[in-house]
Structures are given as structure tokens and as C-alpha cells.
């Protein structure tokens, strides 16, 4: 039995997220699994490094599936891309060790949130960035982000309709930079709760525009109350950049 590792890039605009859903055939996982079945003749389960929500993008999602097929990797790679829609591309295909699991073996993930900080949205970025017209203080945002580094209970930053019993995660790094009208917020963590990245960004935006104090982030963490943090930012601005193993 072979274990095939895929690195996948996709535009999540038209999809209901990564994970297969009974009420929607339009998920990244479902579309790729159908293509795999056409190539190998087998029904394979595609295990992703983690779920991305509806509208969220990926530069390097990692997934694996098992197959008895002896088709060469190059042929699998070419066949998959010929069958997949243009907004999903298999960037790399590799043979993985028998025990490799894209989800369980992931050490950390890096998500990037992109903000267009201007009065008008660039039409070429409208599907990949959120627009904020307020003047943003990047220095305040960086100061506030420091309170989130380390191992904490991030219950306040998870969606109330997707609560997990264990809400403790380790945030390893948050980088915030501004290039022209664009603000990039990179967050690396050992795992993300439902909407955690988008809620962290929403809170940092409130700090940047002066609505929240820098120290309020510390208080929000301690309170573990979703109602106290910033708004959930739009999904379109979020992209999975890298999975570390």
C-alpha cells in the first residue's frame, strides 16, 4: 500500500471549505477525492493537515491518501491537474512513509491574513484581501500581538458555534508588516481553533484603529469570553501559507 503526499494550492472562493460535507459536494477534499478515484479506480480518503473554512485559500495545504495503484508519481500528478478545476492545483506529489499522516504529524501551521488599508479596493485583490479604510497603527498592533505569543487558552478567539473542549494552543510567532496599502499578518501556531486566526486579526485591527488598548488583548485572553474580542474578519483575506513537519 502506497502513501501519497500532496501539496495543494487553491482559491477557496467558490468552495464550502476543505472538509467533505454531506450537504455540499463543493469542498476541496471532495473534488480531489473524486479525481483520485477516476485515476486509481479506488475510493481513497484524503487526509488534510487541517480544515480551512469556506472562502479561505491555501498556498501549501498538505494532504495524503493511500492507494494500491502502481501508477508513477509523475502520471498521478499530471492526471490530477488535468481533472481538477482551474482554482485547485496539485503543486507537488511525493511518496511518503507508510506511517505519515498529514494531520497528526503537523508540528505547526502558518496562516497569512491580507488587509487592503485604503479607501478603495484593488479589483485584483478583491477576492484575497479585506478592506479597512481606518488609519492603522502598526506599532500598536505589534505590541498587542506580543500578548498572544506562547501557550494560552484561546477560548475567547474561537467561534461560539465551533467550540472545542480543549482550547489551549501555542502561538509561536505573529509578524505584522505594511507594504504600501497592504498589511500582512502572519500567524504561526501548533493548531488553530475554529475562526481563531480571523478573530485574532479582528482584535488586532481594533487595536490598530485605536478602539482597543494594547493591554486589552491580555485581558481578553484571561477573560476567555468571545464577546470581548474583535470581529471575525472575512474569510477571503485568510490563506494557509505553510505546514511544518
* Catalytic positions: 53
Q: Which string of DSSP letters, residue by residue, matches the chain?
A: -EEEEEEEEE-GGGSS-SS-BTTBS-SHHHHHHHHHHHHHSS--PPEESS---TT-EEEEEEEEEEE-----HHHHHHHHHHHS-TTEEEEEEEE--TT--TTTT--EEEEEEEEE-SSS--TTTTTT-EE--S---HHHHHHHHGGGSEEEE-GGGS-GGG--S--EEEEEEEEEEEETTEEEEEEEES---TTHHHHHHHHHHHHHTTSS-TTHHHHHHHHT-GGGS-PPPPGGGEEEEEEE-
Under 8 Å between Cβ of 184 and 176: yes
User: In degrees rounded to 5, what are phi and psi of residue 115?
Assistant: -120, 130
124 Cβ neighbours under 8 A, 6+ residues apart: none
Amino acid at each position: 500500500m502506497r502513501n501519497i503526499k500532496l501539496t495543494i494550492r487553491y482559491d477557496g472562493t467558490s468552495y464550502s471549505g476543505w472538509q467533505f460535507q454531506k450537504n455540499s459536494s463543493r469542498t476541496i477534499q471532495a473534488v480531489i477525492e473524486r479525481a483520485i478515484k477516476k485515476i486509481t479506480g479506488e475510493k481513497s480518503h484524503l487526509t488534510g493537515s487541517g480544515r480551512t473554512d469556506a472562502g479561505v485559500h491555501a498556498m501549501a495545504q498538505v494532504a495524503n491518501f493511500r492507494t494500491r495503484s502502481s501508477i508513477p508519481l509523475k502520471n498521478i500528478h499530471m492526471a490530477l491537474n488535468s481533472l481538477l478545476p482551474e482554482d485547485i492545483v496539485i503543486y507537488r506529489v511525493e511518496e511518503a512513509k507508510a506511517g505519515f499522516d498529514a494531520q497528526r504529524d503537523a508540528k505547526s501551521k502558518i496562516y497569512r491574513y491580507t488587509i487592503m488599508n485604503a479607501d478603495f479596493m484593488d479589483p485584483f485583490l478583491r477576492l484575497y484581501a479585506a478592506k479597512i479604510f481606518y488609519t492603522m497603527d502598526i506599532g500598536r498592533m505589534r505590541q498587542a500581538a506580543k500578548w498572544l505569543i506562547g501557550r494560552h487558552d484561546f477560548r475567547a478567539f474561537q467561534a461560539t458555534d465551533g467550540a472545542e473542549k480543549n482550547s489551549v494552543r501555542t502561538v509561536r510567532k505573529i509578524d505584522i508588516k505594511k507594504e504600501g496599502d497592504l498589511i500582512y499578518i502572519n500567524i504561526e501556531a501548533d493548531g488553530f481553533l475554529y475562526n481563531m486566526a480571523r478573530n485574532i486579526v479582528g482584535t488586532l485591527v481594533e487595536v490598530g484603529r485605536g478602539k482597543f488598548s494594547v493591554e486589552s488583548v491580555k485581558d481578553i485572553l484571561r477573560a476567555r469570553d468571545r464577546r470581548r474580542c474583535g470581529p471575525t474578519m472575512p474569510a477571503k483575506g485568510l490563506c494557509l501559507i505553510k505546514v511544518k513537519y
